[in-house]
């Protein structure tokens, strides 16, 4: 959108570009915008050589990058990027231990659509046990539980791609639906060193054992197929003697 003269509210893109005058000055190339070869009023022309017509070309890569960035920023201003948003509603007085991947949490939650419709809640049953990193809940909820303390209450706004995506969860959750979760952390159990070692090392050991086992099975089948079969004794021909 072009900036119209006399407009009271310029577009957002103009604000973004206007905040970086130094970068624009560095990128601006006077050779790309030739002025008309005409003398100033009251002064004679130094040379009668006319400036040939010049077509505008994107010879400066920085200028091109600036224009692309401005266009991309305009798109973001019109269509805000969907990101995970986590807001702390209530924080305990002491928060010395924060959750990390591998820790186990017990939480109470209430999930809603953006119009306020409740889709699920754990308030009428036992707290939900979540082991971070096991992907037992939707990605957005798991990510929002990293870095919380016991007794903390949060409000997470989860975009569709971190919830149920385009398919949704019919009939409760439509496709491309953003969700809002209110979560209270009831308890936090940190991962022990033994659990950390098992969770970190065991998958690597299993990954290394798979090709080894496949190789052993292949070797066994190869030897079995190439083994010589035992020779069968040919029965002797018995000639019947005529008496």
- Residue 120: is the preceding peptide bond cis (ω within 30°)? no
Q: What is the pLDDT of residue 207?
A: 77
pTM: 0.52
Six token digits for residue 33: 């915008």
Q: What is the pLDDT of residue 192?
A: 74
Identify the CATH number of the domain defined by range 85-193: 3.10.50.40
d(CA 31, CA 29): 5
Q: What is the mean pLDDT of each run of 10 residues along the chain (243 residues)?
A: 41 44 42 46 50 52 66 48 87 92 96 96 96 94 96 97 95 96 96 69 74 82 73 56 51
> CATH 3.10.50.40 residue ranges in the chain?
85-193
Q: What is the pLDDT of residue 55?
A: 52
| Residue/partner pairs of 31-38 with CB below 8 Å, 24 or more apart | 32/56, 32/57, 32/59, 32/60, 32/63
């Amino acid at each position: 959108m072009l900036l119209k003269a006399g407009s009271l509210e310029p577009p957002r893109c103009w604000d973004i570009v206007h905040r970086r005058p130094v970068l624009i000055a560095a990128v601006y190339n006077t050779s790309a915008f030739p002025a008309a070869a005409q003398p100033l009023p009251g002064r004679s022309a130094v040379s009668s050589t006319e400036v040939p017509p010049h077509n505008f070309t994107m010879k400066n890569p920085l200028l091109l990058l600036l224009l692309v960035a401005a266009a991309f920023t305009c798109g973001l201003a019109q269509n805000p990027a969907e990101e995970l948003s986590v807001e702390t509603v209530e924080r305990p007085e002491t928060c010395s231990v924060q959750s990390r991947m591998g820790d186990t949490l017990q939480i109470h939650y209430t999930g809603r659509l953006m119009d306020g419709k409740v889709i699920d809640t754990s308030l009428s049953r036992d707290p939900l046990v979540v082991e971070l990193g096991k992907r037992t809940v939707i990605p957005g909820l798991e990510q929002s539980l990293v870095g919380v303390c016991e007794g903390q209450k949060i409000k997470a706004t989860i975009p569709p791609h971190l919830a149920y995506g385009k398919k949704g969860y019919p009939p409760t959750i439509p496709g491309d639906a953003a969700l809002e979760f209110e979560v209270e952390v009831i308890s936090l159990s940190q991962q022990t060193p033994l659990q950390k070692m098992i969770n970190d090392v065991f998958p690597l050991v299993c990954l290394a054992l798979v090709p080894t086992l496949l190789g052993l099975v292949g070797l066994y089948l190869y030897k079995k197929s190439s083994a010589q079969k035992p020779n069968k004794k040919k029965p002797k021909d018995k000639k019947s003697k005529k008496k």
